[in-house]
């Protein structure tokens, strides 16, 4: 792989070494060189397409900008009235941002200015897992996020949470998702626009990362633009993700609707968790969902499905599904209008049991449409009729 030469030129050489060391460790596509301001000359920067330089010395570097093949990126202090202008920020990195943010911004700049396709080819296979439910209110989203955080924390897995609901709830659970200036809509625009082949971008430039290192796209306000993609566009979207990032797992949070596009995504999954609770309505809806998937995709699809009972009770813990997450209101609380999810309590115990089986490859298709009192088929037919007509 041909590396991108990046020269860091700083008066504060210790800062240059610190940020250069982080980039060298975390961005294998970059070849980093570091020199002090006093050492700068044409010979030193020869061969470097990208030059990161302290903005205080902007005037001294005007001559280097005459070479149109070079990209000068200024490292500046926190935004001033002048540098807050979006057009002025295009080739600026703010000095006191966190190192991961600086890396993300630099990758974004490199992507926009690349003359040929720029990416780090992912060398490891991606495992997809789906999270489905025939009805709302079963905890599908919190289970998917909790499991993503669990395998990221305990196993060091790199996980992408991908919301495929009609109206994404990402901002309700990730405080990091609130301040994104580049959303998934912007990403889709870049990869599908006419010039995409000559002006590629890295997906991570449009993503946040939470405190347990789970990644997700910054959502757009309103409806989910992923839902508007055609089958061919979805395929291209996922191919682009796999080629340009190195996620080990992609968790897809499905909506309740089933169409050709959602069946395609379900087909990508090695495992699909069908989340329900102990109510008769949840059991019936999930069985209906299961049967419909079977009618559309056959056993190839249903053989991926694993039933999870969420919000289980102690009375039914010994019955039915082996994958049961006990009810635990204490693991969820509101802070700054965000629902915080703890995986250190009873809820987390259930999540960890699922995480262990997923990572160790011990997860197998397992379906049981049960209520607190047993299989739904054991309910009186009159009750089933009443539920189905509701």
Cα(160)–Cα(121) distance, integer angstroms: 17
Per-residue pLDDT tens over the stretch 326-360: 999 999 999 888 999 999 999 999 999 999 999 99
Calculate helix-pair angle for 346-359, 140-155, nearest 10 degrees: 70
Best CA proximity match to 307, nearest among 61, 161, 130, 188 = 130
Distances (CA, A) of 353 to 146, 210, 322, 346, 360: 12, 22, 10, 11, 11
Per-residue pLDDT, 331 = 94
- Lowest mean pLDDT, pick from 77-81, 129-133, 264-268: 77-81
- Does the pLDDT value for residue 386 go beyond 70? no
Q: Give every CB contact of residue 258 below 8 A, 6+ residues apart in sequence.
A: 289, 292, 293, 296
pLDDT at res. 196: 45
> Long-range contacts: 336-342, Cβ < 8 Å, 24+?
336/175, 338/171, 338/172, 338/173, 338/174, 338/175, 339/142, 339/172, 339/173, 341/142, 341/145, 341/146, 341/149, 341/173
- Any alpha helices (H) in 322-390, and if so which ranges? 346-359, 381-388
What is the rounded distance in angstroms from the CA atom of residue 43 to the CA atom of residue 47?
9
pLDDT tens by residue, 157-194: 999 999 999 999 999 999 988 877 789 998 898 888 74
The region, left, alpha or beta by phi > 0 then psi within -120 to 50, assigned to residue 312 is beta
pLDDT per residue over 49-74, tens digit each? 788 887 777 776 666 555 556 677 88
Look at residues 50, 108, 105 and name the one whose alpha carbon lies nearest to residue 244. 108
Q: Is 108 or 340 the better-scoring residue by pLDDT?
A: 340
User: What domains are there in the chain, each with its CATH number?
Assistant: 4-113 (3.40.50.2300), 127-388 (3.40.50.300)
- 308 band by pLDDT with thresholds 50, 70 and 90: very high
Write the burial class of residue 320 (CB in 10 Å: 0-12 exposed, 13-18 middle, 19+ buried): buried
Asked if pLDDT for residue 98 goes beyond 50, the answer is yes
């Amino acid at each position: 792989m041909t590396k991108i030469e990046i020269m860091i030129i700083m008066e504060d050489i210790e800062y240059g070494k610190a940020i250069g060391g982080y980039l060298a460790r975390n961005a294998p596509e970059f070849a980093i060189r570091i020199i002090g301001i006093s050492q700068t000359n044409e010979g030193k920067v020869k061969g470097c397409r990208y030059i990161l330089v302290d903005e205080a010395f902007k005037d001294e570097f005007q001559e280097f900008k005459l070479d149109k093949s070079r990209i000068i990126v200024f490292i500046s202090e926190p935004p001033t009235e002048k540098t807050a202008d979006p057009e002025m920020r295009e080739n600026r990195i703010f000095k006191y941002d966190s190192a991961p943010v600086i890396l993300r911004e630099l990758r974004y700049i490199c992507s926009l200015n690349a003359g040929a396709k720029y990416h780090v080819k992912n060398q490891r296979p991606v495992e997809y897992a789906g999270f489905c439910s025939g009805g709302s209110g079963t905890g599908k989203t919190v289970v998917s996020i909790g499991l993503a955080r669990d395998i990221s924390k305990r196993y060091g897995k790199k996980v992408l949470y991908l919301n495929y609901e009609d109206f994404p709830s990402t901002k309700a659970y990730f405080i990091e998702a609130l301040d994104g200036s580049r959303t998934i809509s912007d990403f889709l625009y870049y990869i599908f626009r006419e010039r995409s082949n000559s002006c590629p971008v890295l997906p991570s430039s449009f993503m946040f990362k939470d405190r347990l290192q789970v990644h997700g796209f910054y959502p757009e306000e309103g409806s989910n633009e992923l839902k508007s993609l055609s089958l061919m566009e979805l395929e291209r979207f996922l191919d682009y993700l796999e080629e340009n990032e190195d996620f080990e797992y992609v968790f897809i949070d499905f909506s309740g609707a089933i169409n050709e596009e959602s069946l395609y995504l379900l087909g990508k999954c090695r495992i699909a968790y069908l989340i329900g609770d102990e109510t008769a309505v949840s059991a019936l809806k999930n069985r209906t969902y299961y049967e419909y998937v079977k009618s559309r995709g056959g056993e190839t699809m249903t053989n991926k499905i694993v039933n999870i009972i969420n919000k289980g009770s102690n009375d039914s813990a010994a019955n039915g599904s082996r994958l049961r997450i006990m009810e635990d209101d204490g693991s969820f609380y509101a802070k700054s209008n965000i629902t915080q999810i703890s995986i250190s309590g009873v809820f987390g115990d259930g999540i960890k049991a699922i995480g262990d089986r997923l990572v160790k490859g011990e997860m197998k298709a397992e379906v049981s449409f049960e209520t607190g009192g047993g299989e739904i088929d054991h309910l009186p037919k009159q009750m089933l009729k009443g539920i189905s007509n509701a």
